[in-house]
Amino acid sequence: MAKKVLKFGGTSVGTIERILHVAKIIKKENDAGNEVIAVVSAMSGKTNELLKQSKTISEDFDKRELDVLLASGEQVTSALLAGALIKFGINSKSWLNWQIPILTEGENSNARIINMSTSSINKFLSEKGVAIIPGFQGISKVGDITTIGRGGSDATAVAIAKIFDADLCEIYTDVDGVYSTDPNKIPVAKKIDKISYDEMLELSSLGAKVMQSSAVQTAMMYNIPLEVKSTFTARQGTKIFDQDSIDYTKSVTGVAYSKDDAKITLVGVQDKPGVAANIFEPLSKNQINVDMVIQNISSDQKTTDITFTIKREDLLKTIEILKSNKTIQYESLNHNDKVSKISIVGAGMVSTPGITYRMFRSLADEKINILAISTSEIKLSVIISEDDTLKAIKKLHTVFDLD
Amino acid sequence: MAKKVLKFGGTSVGTIERILHVAKIIKKENDAGNEVIAVVSAMSGKTNELLKQSKTISEDFDKRELDVLLASGEQVTSALLAGALIKFGINSKSWLNWQIPILTEGENSNARIINMSTSSINKFLSEKGVAIIPGFQGISKVGDITTIGRGGSDATAVAIAKIFDADLCEIYTDVDGVYSTDPNKIPVAKKIDKISYDEMLELSSLGAKVMQSSAVQTAMMYNIPLEVKSTFTARQGTKIFDQDSIDYTKSVTGVAYSKDDAKITLVGVQDKPGVAANIFEPLSKNQINVDMVIQNISSDQKTTDITFTIKREDLLKTIEILKSNKTIQYESLNHNDKVSKISIVGAGMVSTPGITYRMFRSLADEKINILAISTSEIKLSVIISEDDTLKAIKKLHTVFDLD
């Protein structure tokens, strides 16, 4: 007997038929004697529909009222799922966030869960009841409805798992786990059975969007075991653990990539303290998200080259900001709007010598030119020409024994 | 400067465009210095859509969860309307029922509003804020969401008008008031400028469904002035007052009718105490709604004839129940499933002699046979053959100077 938090995403509850299917998954857990709290998203498409309505009224729709509006989506799913469970003879009840309550802090549309009351739900669970909780929302100290950002149902599930001291938090979604690379692009991509929080973070922020990154971070912080699995198959998913609990047989766990990137290089930047801040502060103020940053040691000790990547859609705006920036001096500005980032990720990398060399050699063998390199403890990323993306992923997937 | 409760029905807020239009109506009131509380229904079609979803899961969907589900509809409208007002520069805020709170008693789906807190909303109104409140719902003593029955937004509006001591409660809808008869059937039907609560009740329960009857009753009980008006025209609507405040120039205010009725006559019923109860109790227990009941004095002092009307769809079931009822004895059972009820309604009737005679004479002139008659202080109803409905309405409308 275990205490489990099960989270069902928008596609998992996208139709009445699917909600009935989810109810059957929960019934199975309940029949097995497990205590279950289910966290649900809005039915797929619902949040976008509500957002569109608000934007028709005003592009700058009031944030407090937007949260009241959006919160209705998960409320609907919660009631429908509780009703479906009751139909199947399970004692079930929806608990809206103000009924628990789930307290949040921070501004509307971007709040954080800080606490919640557990006594009445725990009592209900101990009587074999299944509690259904709408994800993505809470209430503020003054009693307003708040939401915690897109994808926030993952964060709700992990926070609930933490506060209720659950044994496991299962994230049900429309894919059956985390893959060694994009299965739509590389047919030999393999489902990963076990992965560490760190690796998951690197993979999810790089495009394997099966779970919200900040929810993974919270799970890592409190060591809450996660499992990502499909609502639509009975197959085992991907278990996400603490790094120490995983026995690494492979040095590289997966190959991730991000598309639609652009690269900018400032050549001959005057190398003095504060120059990087002067370059990136105006970009940040204009909501331009900078991904990789690489600065080479200057050979003449006076100038340096700074390369960084941004989303392709931000390229023109970024160039404009850089050119009008009087606080920096440089010789020239190069840019390339047809690049992509390929990363190999693996907690085993740090203890395996030669990974870097093998990556560069494999790419060279394929005549793929590396435009920039960036490394961390569990990740090695390179910027290459966009046209080489698929070739690079395939090669690395094979070289690191992931096929 | 007045304190007003404005209620907007489903069609009035049926699209984003209409919600923006409603916001303009409210802005006008706010600009004029009036304190405004707006009560809103779910966008038209929404409640039916949610109901249909629940029925797909189970025809007997759990009542507590059904209320959680349905309440989301008015929540959405409230947030959208508050957002629209804020866009127009009005200080506005939605107040969900648990935030006020609006306390109800009674079972889910059929609760009654018993109390609500006024202090924070009154403070907000005094600062020129417009409070938006979702109609049709409240919370129970144990903190569950409850709803108060279809059409319940009218009841919410009137309850709020009472508890906030409003000067006026305006019901905005898709018709521009109460008519002397059905304007779709009789083109010369006229909008009634002023009507008493009693007359409104008689007219609305007879088919002029512009406002929920129990809300009119509450308004009558607490003497809250009502006005029914159109959201889509600027024309004056129908004011609903206490009878004493109205100067009656006409004895008859309107001609109402109800279709799809059926008539049953039990001939030669043994006339003894309790026989009526024995007849109608099993019908009531089977949710069959009996409308008119007419019992003639028996000529032989031993038997009597009892005639009553029901909805046509209940006819077969009713006959079956009567035939299997061993507690009553009668000679024969007649039924007619092609009848309609025509009523003339008017608070001035009681002080005008000859109304009854004029009604019967007019129908006789048109060769319309009267199958049954029932009278009250402000209403006179006859059952006639369905085929004569239109002819009868036209004739009475003319005879009583309503054209």
In the stretch 372-391 of chain B, residues with CB closer than 8 A to chain A read none
Of B62, B75, B86, the CB nearest to A82: B62
What's the pLDDT at B186?
84
- Report the gap between the CA of A57 and the closest CA in chain B (Å): 6
Which chain B residue has its CA at the smallest distance from A20's CA?
A: B57
Separation between Cα atoms, residue B403 and residue B397, nearest integer Å: 6
Structure-model confidence comparison of residues B130 and A208, the more confident one: B130
User: What digits encode the pLDDT tens for the residues B109-163?
Assistant: 889 999 999 999 999 999 999 999 999 999 999 999 999 987 799 999 999 999 9
Could you report the per-residue pLDDT of A11-41, keeping only the tens digit for each?
Answer: 999 999 999 999 999 999 999 999 999 999 9
The nearest alpha carbon in chain A to B134 belongs to A68
A78 contacts B68? CB cut-off 8 A: yes
**Nearest-CB residue to B57 (from A60, A84, A98):** A84
Residue with tokens 């405004």: B36
**Ordered DSSP codes for A165-226:** T-SEEEEEESSSS-BSS-TTT-TT--B-SEEEHHHHHHHHHTT--SS-HHHHHHHHHHT--E
Nearest to A83 among B19, B61, B72 (CB): B61
Separation of alpha carbons A137 and A153, rounded Å: 8
Mutate to test the interface with A, among B47, B56, B57, B88 (most CBs of A within 10 A): B57
What distance in Å separates residue A132's CA from the closest CA in chain B?
A: 11
Beta bridge partner(s), residue B238: B228
Confidence of residue B188 (pLDDT cuts 50, 70, 90): confident
Contacts of B69 in chain A (CB under 8 A): 75-76, 79-80, 83
- DSSP letters for B40-68: E-PPTTHHHHHHHHHHHH-TT--HHHHHH
Distance from CA of A260 to the nearest CA of B (A): 35
Question: What part of A 144-183 touches B (C-beta under 8 Å)?
Answer: 144-145
Residue A356 has pLDDT above 90, yes or no: no
d(CA A90, CA A370): 58
Strand-pair category, A254-270 with A303-311: antiparallel
How much is the average pLDDT of A148-172? 93
CA dihedral A94, A97, A98, A103 (to 10 degrees): 150
CB half-sphere exposure, B344, CA atoms < 13 A:
28
B335: contact with A, CB 8 A cutoff: no
Which of B62, B64, B91, B130 to probe by mutation at the A interface, max A CB count within 10 Å? B62
Smallest CA–CA distance, residue A388 to chain B, in Å, is: 47
Q: pLDDT (tens digit, 9 = 90+) per residue, A230-281?
A: 999 988 999 998 877 666 677 888 998 887 889 999 988 887 778 888 899 8
Inspect the interface and report whether the beta carbons of A82 and B68 lie closer than 8 Å.
yes
Q: Is the dihedral of CA B393, B399, B402, B403 positive or negative?
A: positive
**Annotated domain spans of chain A:** 3-174, 254-399
Whole-complex ipTM: 0.83
The topology (CATH level 3) of B3-174 is: Carbamate kinase (3.40.1160)
pTM (two decimals)? 0.84
Question: Cβ contact (<8 Å) for B62 and A78?
Answer: no
**Nearest one of B14, B72, B5 to B36, comparing CA atoms:** B5
Among A7, A9, A21, smallest CA distance to A232 is for A21
pLDDT band at A70 (very low <50, low <70, confident <90, very high): very high
Q: pLDDT band for A202, please (50, 70, 90 cuts).
A: confident
Helix/strand/coil for B2: coil
Query: A270 in contact with B at a CB cutoff of 8 Å?
Result: no
- Out of A57, A72, A80, name the one closest to residue B75 (CB): A72
| Tens digits of residue pLDDT in A362-380 | 999 999 988 888 888 888 8
Is any Cβ of chain A less than 8 angstroms from the Cβ of B72?
A: yes
- pLDDT tens digits, B333-371: 999 999 999 999 988 787 777 888 889 999 999 999 888
| B56: Cα separation from own chain's centroid | 29
Q: How far, in whole angstroms, is CA A39 from its chain's centroid?
A: 17
Strands (DSSP E) contained in A16-86 are: 35-40
- Closest Cβ–Cβ partner in A58, A86, A98 for B83: A58
pLDDT band, very low/low/confident/very high, at B287 (cuts 50, 70, 90): confident
Cβ B110 vs Cβ B148: under 8 Å: yes
Classify domain B254-399 at the CATH topology level. Answer: VC0802-like (3.30.2130)
Q: What local confidence, expressed as pLDDT, does residue B357 receive? A: 85
**pLDDT for position A66:** 97
- The DSSP H or E segment spanning A345 is strand A332-345
pLDDT value at residue A186: 84
Q: How far apart are CA B262 and CA B310, in angstroms?
A: 5
Measured in angstroms, the CA of A147 and the nearest CA of chain B are apart by: 14
Residue at A395: amino acid letter: K
Q: Which residues in chain A have Cβ-Cβ distances shorter than 8 Å to B16? A: 53, 56-57
Hey, what are A179's tokens?
A: 């893959």
- The mean per-residue pLDDT over the stretch B28-50 comes to 97
Q: What is the pLDDT of residue B247?
A: 66
Q: Which chain A residues have a beta carbon less than 8 Å from that of B65?
A: 79-80, 82-83, 86, 93-94
Using 50, 70 and 90 to split pLDDT, how confident is the model at B297?
A: low
> B254-399: same fold as B3-174?
no
Quickly state the pLDDT bin for B61 (edges 50, 70, 90): very high
Chain A within 8 Å of B78 (Cβ-Cβ)? yes
CB A10 within 8 A of CB A44: yes
Instruction: Give A32 to chain B, closest Cα distance, Å.
Output: 24
Counting residues of chain B whose pLDDT is more than 70, the rounded percentage is 96
Q: How far apart are CA B361 and CA B77, in angstroms?
A: 51
